[in-house]
Chain A
């Protein structure tokens, strides 16, 4: 069977090799349905979402910030930004990856159950990673860990054989460095 994507008349579909990972920071009017508009745009136009976070950031102004991590060719990412800008209740779209260095943080809650040596090892690793213990029983911990997503990935891989039960992650929140708004 022929690869249908390679037959597409659109260049973006054929340019897969130069895919980049970008973090977009989207300031929106916090009105009903605004998240659905953003998510619907991504599904409708076939863009990827690797991570998405949303929360109100200015109560009086009624603003929320949506942080989206997506992958695509530079042309596709530019197109995503412009498509987002077309959505009426969107104030501003910033490509933090183009903006230079930015701070990215992910928060995870990680439940590990085990006894004896495994339990002690899990606790040692948590200390090394600066993870907080936020719940404990005689045979389990829940660790809270925040940091770059890669750091959380590393921690999760290390505790997996020690009795990883489940985990929850917030997805990435991000801001540009320096004194001014991105």
Chain B
């Protein structure tokens, strides 16, 4: 039964019908009718951010920690352009978002009106899909289609651009629950013959490895459960990308740790030495593969991905299975059982012997200190003191992010929110706000760097307004640490513009934002300081002063292969390891 309402009311009604309880946004001239509709209802809660980029990352944090679609609402022109970084971030990491943007009235479009920009033009490249709503008749369909496109298939951000006259216009509202789109129909079930072939290859493998990614998290909790079941049935080792941490538990005995540029020795050498890689919901990106022509030279590769364009994009695979990895894993488990498959136990036992030798190298080890807090030690203590709580971790981007990935351990999916593909500094605080909104009773910690945190520090004001007890744990080394590390390795230690000069006093800054400030520079006092942070009922900025020139290892230098990784305590001129070709890469 169609109901008459205004466009602005339809927007709020559609949010309610889609089960959206929280929207992150910032008002402005071109969205005033929607804000008025929000004023008149109690179902959808609006969180006022301090910058539209913050709204986007908050929505991402909300989405990643819940598995639901994150929603942001911004005005035309600068509201939309400020959201672009977050939209691109969500596209790279396959995070479902719906971004509602205001637009000047349709008759002014193209006239360079005040706060006008070509939002659909600008966001075409950083969204999965976008819409400009030209008439009220199209609005209900487009709103619901936007949610369908954002959450189904390979998830991603969708922009709906809403001219102000459409928001004021009146029309019929309908909610169709199950949309079948005429052109967009992602394939969920994998081809059964190919899955059979995959199971056959797995049963014959001598040196297999599961390489899993964010797709397993995106597919939902059942996919993680099935991955664990399949890993258990086969006995194969499991490694994961940055985005996929938590899908397989870090305390599982087959866990190798993260792979890639800053992955563990055992994960990267297992990949390099394997004869079968089963890639589940990951995309062979350059942080993972290192030098392509030397990537896993002896391995046959099975690639399970919902996006056909991911298969054979960077690495040619032997068997590509297009489908939702949850469904495909389920079919694999079923076939493995029904065909009474067995792994090659003798070969596997040899393989594990080799892996255990690599493990003994203890590649994440570092020289601890009694005088200065080592950043790795800080993350380890944070982990030990929070692991038994209901904890969610977000990060900014840089060294601290890699140390968090290496030394904080995740046993469940959806507990780890980080910017992987785009590498967006300033992601962590707003993401923590979005996560805390979704999980008000949980402990939400943003592991940050002193440089990244300043990129969206204004969101402290949001945390204050909504009494969100987010904890910001800054590994403060007074450098843009990863930039400094690369300058040390590649540019003769000339630290051009990477020193974090004129930093604010973070303790006073916390005070200014109505939060608690804690500073610690003594390893002996670290545990107490962390406990003080955890036990404080409100927001905390923890200024953890760490060793200034610690490097993040292990590291696969640019242009090198998995078996050419650098370990922490190897005494060598690292600059000389990377050749001219490597220096050209990012």
One of A7, A10, A79, A88 near B184 (C-beta < 8 A) = A88
Complex interface bits, A66-97 against B, C-beta within 8 A gives 1, otherwise 0 = 00000000010011001101101111000000
Separation of A36 and B314 alpha carbons in the complex (Å): 26
By the criterion CB–CB under 8 Å, are B309 and A83 in contact? Answer: yes
Q: Collect the chain A residues with CB atoms within 8 Å of residue B183's CB.
A: 29, 88-91
Separation of A2 and B579 alpha carbons in the complex (Å): 13
B368 interface hit (Cβ, 8 Å): no
B547 interface hit (Cβ, 8 Å): no
By the criterion CB–CB under 8 Å, are B309 and A82 in contact? Answer: yes
By the criterion CB–CB under 8 Å, are A86 and B292 in contact? Answer: no
On whether A10 and B307 interact (CB within 8 A), knowing A32-B132, A88-B183, the answer reads no
By the criterion CB–CB under 8 Å, are A85 and B308 in contact? Answer: yes
How many inter-chain residue pairs (CB < 8 Å) link A and B? 64
Separation of A104 and B540 alpha carbons in the complex (Å): 67
Q: Collect the chain A residues with CB atoms within 8 Å of residue B387's CB.
A: none
Complex interface bits, B288-300 against A, C-beta within 8 A gives 1, otherwise 0 = 0101110000000
A58 vs chain B, min Cβ distance (A): 13
By the criterion CB–CB under 8 Å, are B309 and A85 in contact? Answer: yes
Of A9, A29, A36, which is in contact with the most chain B CB atoms at under 10 Å from its CB? A9
On whether A33 and B129 interact (CB within 8 A), knowing A2-B584, A88-B184, the answer reads no
B149 interface hit (Cβ, 8 Å): yes
By the criterion CB–CB under 8 Å, are B121 and A86 in contact? Answer: no
Complex interface bits, A35-59 against B, C-beta within 8 A gives 1, otherwise 0 = 0110010001000000000000000
Nearest residue (CB) in A for B586 is: A9
Separation of A2 and B583 alpha carbons in the complex (Å): 12
B313 interface hit (Cβ, 8 Å): yes
B527 vs chain A, min Cβ distance (A): 42
A4 interface hit (Cβ, 8 Å): yes
By the criterion CB–CB under 8 Å, are A88 and B121 in contact? Answer: no
By the criterion CB–CB under 8 Å, are B149 and A7 in contact? Answer: no
Q: Collect the chain B residues with CB atoms within 8 Å of residue A4's CB.
A: 584
Separation of A85 and B311 alpha carbons in the complex (Å): 13
Nearest residue (CB) in B for A6 is: B581
By the criterion CB–CB under 8 Å, are A88 and B581 in contact? Answer: no
Separation of A32 and B133 alpha carbons in the complex (Å): 11
Complex interface bits, A130-145 against B, C-beta within 8 A gives 1, otherwise 0 = 0000000000000000
Segment 5-45 of B: residues with Cβ below 8 Å from A? none
> Can you list 27 A-B contacts (CB < 8 A)?
A2-B580, A2-B581, A7-B581, A7-B585, A9-B559, A10-B292, A10-B314, A11-B292, A11-B293, A11-B314, A11-B316, A29-B182, A29-B183, A33-B120, A33-B124, A40-B125, A44-B125, A75-B312, A79-B309, A79-B312, A79-B313, A85-B308, A85-B309, A86-B128, A86-B309, A88-B129, A90-B183
- A-B pairs, top 9 by smallest CB distance, nearest first, are A82-B309, A88-B129, A82-B308, A88-B184, A7-B584, A83-B309, A91-B183, A9-B286, A7-B581
Q: Hey, which bits of chain B sit against chain A, CB under 8 A?
A: 120-121, 124-125, 128-129, 132, 134, 149, 181-184, 286, 289, 291-293, 307-309, 311-316, 559, 580-581, 584-585
Q: Hey, which bits of chain A sit against chain B, CB under 8 A?
A: 2, 4, 7, 9-11, 29, 32-33, 36-37, 40, 44, 75, 78-79, 82-83, 85-86, 88-91
